[in-house]
Each structure stands twice: as structure tokens, then as C-alpha cells.
Chain A
């Protein structure tokens, strides 16, 4: 891997965007095994599905603006929340940061030319697209889109007449996409680190992607087989989970959550990595407690895999089981809190520059803290009985998944955009977009905490008039949020197509390896593989001194 690459005749390496491989034009993108190009086609696919999922969510909110039927019937509403969940979880949040930014930056951050298995990497994108198409087919075929919720709970999922099998199969295929990405990343981190890049010199986003990759490898097969079994049960009538044939629906729930709870850490850990990258750069300070942040990622991955049954406190479980799962749930809060404390402590006395990436990162900390603390409330057995299946839960996981991971992805997009595209977006517009998204998000989801606490059940099509004020505020929030998201993507799209070109290597003053290579990166990332001497966030009193210390060509 350390061999030098051949210098082109004119002495100038083309960027990965201009680089001409075997194929030209569009084929050059969808058949390229360059991790950077794969990241870009993932970006396009994932954001497209995000916009589809967002549309479903937006329409659901519109339906809920007043009690009774507003714009759709109850069956359509059931399908919409299922599709919103399936698309957002399996096609947006789970693959989001690892597939886009992990692919693009993981090899660069560890000083490698590519991932370990470039062809497998491209294959995951095809699996992703096939999974997405299956989800779309399930919408279009007669029988109607799945209406089970994204959890596919037995026995309804084997009895409903809607196209559950396609939705199940979509999730199954997407699971394999996720597994292969995980295998690729673990092997890459083990095998392809640049000379001198010891484990504790890896950037923190690499640590979080590494922890995520392990959870992807170890947890995803369980959901794969479980969903496959439900599909087999539906198609062939094999007795596996259906209580009519002797099966145990609670066992299904266990198997489902054995993956789906660790999956929320697959979703949140990469975003935590992004925040750990952004905070030191815009505070101009070495991150506080590097080892604690790195190890807390591993701790979250380990403990996060052992708490699944806290989704099932009301489903029937022994007292001992409840006690253990409640306790472990509390334990996960510790490494999460370590991260939050370290981030805020890094900001303390830093020279803070309030750029858009940092704004998103700060919003992440704010919203993740709310989402995390309300999560602990649900881990308390007595409280959980009261708020189970209410919109309190919906608010909680949207604060973590969207307020956390979604904002983390937006932060990453604004942080790495100039490096990825060699173009700069309008900072002013991006800040306008940020404030819309931030205010819209909180207006949308905070009322759900209140109405959930007062007893508004989740997934309900209709509600009592006393809840209308909260639903109204929430729906107004969704308008602000969607406006903000459209402004943001409009701004970025405009920048991508014809923004100001930049070849500045290090627009933000970052210290990690991606800021020391060309903008946009050359096909091979590095002309010579760098040798690493320093920890990743070595901000010193004199910045220019640091930059010369570790010169990378």
C-alpha cells in the first residue's frame, strides 16, 4: 500500500471528479470503485430517499392538523407512517453518515488510498438501490403499501393484505448493504492505517465509524433472518411466529429489537464522530479527553447491544428481566454523557467561530441532550408504563435520530462540502437555512413531548379536541422545518452546480489529514502515503507552526 503512484506526464494529478477511469460519463460514476465517487452516488441516492421520507412525514403532519379526516383516510395514514419509518430508518439514518462521509473520508482520515474491498463497496451501493426499489415497488403494487409500522410486529404483519413481503425484503437487502459496509470498514481500519497512525492517533470519527461497523456486522444479521422468517411465514404459511400456529409473537419482538436497538447506535455513533471532528476545528482547541471520547464510542456499542428489551417493558417480561434491561439502559447514558461533557468542555475558552457546521453541531448537542435525557425517563420502569406508545416516544426518538443524527449529517455536509466538491456554498443562506431547521424542528417535536405526557397515543389517525393545540403547533413547525430543509438543499445544490470554485486545502483550519490534501482530492488521495507523528487534534498556540510540523503532499 505504501508504493508511490505514478506521476502523470504534465505533473498535475487530476482530482477524483476529473479523473478518467475505464468508463466515461455517468457510467464512470455508477461503475467506479473509487470510494469518493461511491460516496457521491450514495449522497445522491440517500438524500433523494430522505426527501421522499420527508414528504410522507410532512403529509402525515398535515393530516393531524385537525381532528378527523383532513386530507387522507386512515388506511393511507397507516401506510404513510410505515413508509416514513421504513424509508427514514433503513434508507436514510442507518446508511446516511457511514455510507456518505464514512466512504469518502474514512480512508483519507487514516491515510489510505481506498477501502480494503473497493468492489464490495460499490456492491453495497447496488444493494442499497435494489432495497430502495423494492420499497418503492411495495408502494406501487396492488394490495397497497405496508401498513404495519416499520416494526412489522407479528401477528398483524402475517395477516394484513398489504404488500408487507416487499417491504420486508427491502429491509433484508438493505441489511446486507449495511453488513458489507461494516465488514469493509473494520478491515480497512485494521489493515490500511498509514505508517505511524496508531490506534490512539486515529481521528475520533474513525473511532466512531469503527464502533459502528462492529455493531453493523454483529447486529444486522439478526434482523436479516428475522424479517426473512416473517416473509417465509407469510408466503409459505410456515409456523414460526404466528400464535395461531404455536409461535410466540414476543419472541419476534425480542429478535426484532436485538437488532433494532443496537441500530439506533449505528445511527447515532457516526454523528457523534462528526461532532467530535467539528467542535475542535471551530473552537481552535485540542479536543478534551480524546481517549474518553474514543473509548465511550466502544462502550456505547457494547452496552447499546445489551438493552434491546427496554422496548418491550409492556409486552410481558419477568421482573428480573425488566430490572436488568432498565439498569443497562441507564448505563448507556454514561458514555453518551462523557461525550457531551467533553464537547462542551472543549468549547470552553476556545476561539469559537460560529460557522454553519458548528451551528449544526451545537444544535446536535442541545437536541441530543434533550433526546437522551427523555430516553432515560423511558428507561425507568414505572414511567415507561405510562408513556409507552405515546407521542412522547415519538418526540424522544426524533430528538435523537433527527435532532441528533439528521443534524449531524447536515453538519458533516456543510463541513466537508468544500473538500468534496471543490466549491463553496453561500454561508449566509446556509445560516438562514439552519435557523429555519432548528426552530422548525423544535416547534415540530417539542409539543409531542407534552401531548404524549398528557396521553396522546402514537400512530393514531384521530385524536380528542383537547390535543388540537399541540398538533397545530407541531404542524406549523413542520412547515418551517421543511422550508429550512429545502433552502439548505437548494443552497448546496446551487453551490454544487455553479458555486464559487475553491482549491484551498484547508478552509476551516482543520488538523486532520483530509485538510492536508488537494481540494477536491486526487484520485489516489495522497501522492505519497503520509507518516503520522502527531495526535489528530494538535492545536498549538501558534497555528502555522503546527501546520508545518506535519507536511503532507
Chain B
């Protein structure tokens, strides 16, 4: 090891509090990112209350509820994965991380069927059926596709992220002494969850 490499090795330091702080700041930016779309939703709902009422009736509340349950459960398994690693149960932690991924994929499959069903009814951006509807409904479905779409993108990113964490856990880079990466991935996953908690009532429940 050359002297410079030694210097570089000595430079490596750990700051879990700093890492968590950085993650929280990033989550703020994500909230504000979605916040922009929530502003659009509120303003357009205020402008077109009747159309939003009618359009929301076309969404399938049962599928939505089912998906909410899936996501909430996946948040639980994520927490269990972190607790497991804290208790030095590596295999259990990886198991819970994989369960989280499976649940996330289940959510996406549901989402896929929901979207394709809409497409079959001719409700998609730029379709003749949609353009024939009042502008309020065009806006509602525009926001529906964009907001749930971007949320879905976040779910996919979360799946990749948790997959990477599972790999790091199996290589014991994430271990009972150093698990801030897994915690950060968990925070991100809860954010994905909480955004859905707001999307669900706004699009499915309030009619």
C-alpha cells in the first residue's frame, strides 16, 4: 500500500447522521416534486368540481383498495427487514426485502391491468373518447395518468433500490453495525407509500 493509498484509506469516514440527513433532504425534494402536481389537482378540482366527481366514479375502488393494502404491507416488511438486520438476522432480513420487492411488483401488475382496462374503454391521453368528454374530465384523467404513472416510476426505482440493498446485505456490506443504506432505502420506500396514501383518496375515494 503506497503512502497515498494509506492517506486515502484514513480519509474514509462514516457519518450515519449525515447520511440520514441527506436522505431526508432528498425526501423533501420528492414531496415538493409531487407537491407541484397536487397543486394542479387542487386548482383543477376547484375549477371543475362536477367533472372531477363524474370522472372519479370511473375508477375501480376495489383495485385501488387492494393496491393500498399491498403497499402498506410492503412498508411493514421493509421495517421488518431493518429490524432483522439490527438483530443480526441476515437471512431473515434478505427474506423480508425480497417480500417487499414481490409486493411492489404485485402493485405494478395491478396497476398494469387497471391502466389497460382504461385503454380498452378508450380512455387514454389524446383518444377520441376522452377528447369528447368535458375538459374537466380530460384534466382529471391527464392528472390520473401522470400522477399514478410517476408514482409507478418511483415504485420501479424502489424495487431496483431494494434489490441492490438485498445484494449488499448478502455480501454483508450492510450488517448489524452498518445499515444506514438499508434505512435510507426504507425511508424512500415509505415515501413511495405515503404518496400513494394521498393519491388513493384523491382519485378513488372522493367522488
Contacts and interface: CB of A to CB of B under 8 A. Distances in A.
B138 A239 contact: yes
Nearest to A228: B150
Given A3-B10, A6-B10, A238-B146, A246 B25 contact: no
A325 B138 CA distance: 32
A191 interface: yes
A249 interface: no
Nearest to B9: A6
Contact of B146 (A1, A9, A20, A232): A232
Interface string B1-25: 0011011111101010111011001
B4 A19 contact: yes
B182 to A, nearest CB: 17
Nearest to B48: A246
A336 interface: no
B206 to A, nearest CB: 19
Interface residues of A, number: 51
B139 A187 contact: no
Interface in B37-58: 37, 39-40, 43-44, 47-48
A239 B136 CA distance: 10
A115 to B, nearest CB: 10
Contacts of B141: 239
A222 interface: yes
Interface in A432-478: none
B29 A221 contact: yes
Residue among A6, A186, A224, A237 facing the most chain B CB atoms (10 A cut-off): A6
A251 B139 contact: no
A219 to B, nearest CB: 8
A240 interface: yes
Contacts of A236: 125-126
B40 A240 contact: yes
Contacts of A225: 33-34, 36-37
Contacts of A524: 7, 11
Interface in A174-194: 179, 182-184, 186-187, 190-192
Contacts, number: 131
B163 interface: no
B135 A114 contact: no
B28 interface: yes
Interface string A201-229: 00000000000000001101110111001
A240 B142 contact: yes
A317 to B, nearest CB: 14
A128 B136 CA distance: 38
B39 to A, nearest CB: 7
A190 B21 CA distance: 9
Contacts of A229: 36-37, 40, 146
B7 A186 contact: no
Interface in A229-264: 229, 232-233, 236-240, 245-248, 251, 255
Query: Which A-B residue pairs are the 6 nearest by beta carbons?
Result: A246-B135, A237-B126, A225-B36, A8-B3, A221-B32, A191-B18
Given A187-B18, A239-B141, A240-B40, 17 more contacts: A5-B7, A8-B3, A19-B4, A21-B8, A120-B22, A221-B32, A222-B36, A225-B34, A225-B36, A226-B36, A237-B125, A239-B138, A245-B131, A246-B135, A246-B138, A247-B139, A251-B40
23 contacts: A8-B3, A8-B4, A21-B4, A21-B8, A113-B11, A116-B18, A182-B25, A186-B21, A186-B25, A187-B18, A190-B18, A190-B21, A191-B18, A221-B29, A221-B36, A229-B36, A238-B125, A240-B143, A246-B134, A246-B136, A251-B43, A255-B39, A523-B7
Interface of B: 3-4, 6-11, 13, 15, 17-19, 21-22, 25-26, 28-30, 32-37, 39-40, 43-44, 47-48, 125-126, 131, 134-136, 138-139, 141-143, 145-146
Interface of A: 1, 3-9, 13-14, 19-21, 113-114, 116-117, 120, 179, 182-184, 186-187, 190-192, 217-218, 220-222, 224-226, 229, 232-233, 236-240, 245-248, 251, 255, 523-524
